[in-house]
A and B are shown apart, each in its own frame.
Chain A
Amino acid sequence: MSLLDIDERILEVAKLADIVKCPVVDGKELPEVDITLVEGAVTSDEHLEEILHIRKQSKILVALGDCAVMTNVTGMRNYFELDDCLNTAYKTAISNDGQGEMPASPFVMHLNQKVVPLQEVVHVDHVIPGCPPDANTIFYVLSELLNNRIPDLSDVKKLHYG
């Protein structure tokens, strides 16, 4: 959603690129694409499957935001055991009033023991760190890629975390 922070400049992006899939807009299968922006870290079996599929379908994979680049807040559960986290969230937390139940549906994704950033499971071509990622940096990286140039964040001083 941070993509929308680039405001009216999205029209310039639209001139050069077709937005074929976005999880908020539609649920179509991902066709073969030139550029994919991926938000979020890999936390479950479903995410892993998805990112492997995305990698296969995309020529350029861009990790967008601190979660995708360095796990950020999603990685804060890595300091604890997964079972402890789930138990606290669904059962023992005071807000559950002692009536909490662990979700057991087969359709619910299985969380991995550890949350990992994208670059630990697939090859990531470019990164845009930041929480939220800076709109100017997003636009800079997109316009460089769409004009067949290689973005260099260390050069533009557009780095930003947190």
Chain B
Amino acid sequence: MTTITIQVNGKQLATEPDKTILEVCRANDIEILTMCHLKGVMDVGACRLCLVEIEGINKLLSACTTKVAANMVIRTDTERIKKYQRITTELFFAERNHVCSVCVANGKCELQQLGYKVGMDHIRYPFLYPKCELDSSHAWYVIDHNRCIMCTRCVRVCNEVEGAHNWDVMNRGTQVRVISDFNSPWGESVTCTSCGKCVHACPTGAIWPKAIVQGQLEKKPGIINELVEKRKMKL
């Protein structure tokens, strides 16, 4: 097995090639903020929170989709990156209707935690207040597009792990929405197996079980990777 050396925040790290910057950093206890990354499913670099500076490259690259290369010099902690992380977080809040105090995920929400981590005390951008639907047609679960941040974790887990591909994405820009089948009510879906993986994959209170009331939602995103790893085991 070949080993390469990279430098992260001035620290030399030995690693295998073919790994992403995010994987190497997480393995070495270097914190990188993420929202769309979910261990067990493919990375898409959608949230732009894991941006890192790489010497010799002008633009910032997402750590989750960039592979390490020998002698790469990476910085994850510069003022520039912190500035962009704060901006990205504020735009998440401004884009849709996140009202923490009435949300099922209040206190256990990854978006809330992200806000605390980047030190977001207020939002500098005007709120868009888009009109978003809430679909409670499914027998057990609800999807509230007001709280969706378009990380597409539900889309990927449904496609890659469950193999159902109930979820997909339609439109662009502020009109972008996660849809069930061909934009039909979730309860009428012919592909949904009601497995509940999207519920656990969702980082916010956008998808939740009906039996849950305000602030009581417990999500276990770790079970997705557990499942993926267990399937690889040879019996």
Contact = CB atoms under 8 A, between A and B. Distances in A.
A79 B121 contact: no
Given A114-B129, A120-B126, A162-B106, A76 B120 contact: no
On chain A, which size bracket covers the interface?
A: 20 to 34
Interface size class of B (residues with CB under 8 A): 20 to 34
B121 A153 contact: yes
A75 interface: yes
B116 A119 contact: no
Contacts of A124: 122
Nearest to B129: A78
Nearest to A152: B119
B127 A71 contact: yes
A159 B116 contact: yes
Interface in B91-116: 93, 97, 99-103, 106-107, 112, 115-116
Given A70-B93, A131-B100, A153 B112 contact: no
B132 interface: yes
B131 A79 contact: yes
Contacts of A79: 97, 129-132
Interface in A52-84: 63, 66, 69-73, 75-76, 78-80
A42 interface: no
Given A75-B127, A79-B131, A157-B116, A162 B122 contact: no
Nearest to A151: B121
Nearest to A66: B101
Contacts of B101: 66, 72-73, 131, 161-162
Contacts of B116: 157, 159-160
A28 B22 CA distance: 58
A66 B97 contact: no
A129 B97 contact: no
Contacts of A161: 100-101, 112, 115
B123 interface: yes
Contact of B112 (A71, A76, A155, A162): A162
Contacts of A72: 99-101
Contacts of A95: none
A94 B47 CA distance: 43
A124 B122 CA distance: 10
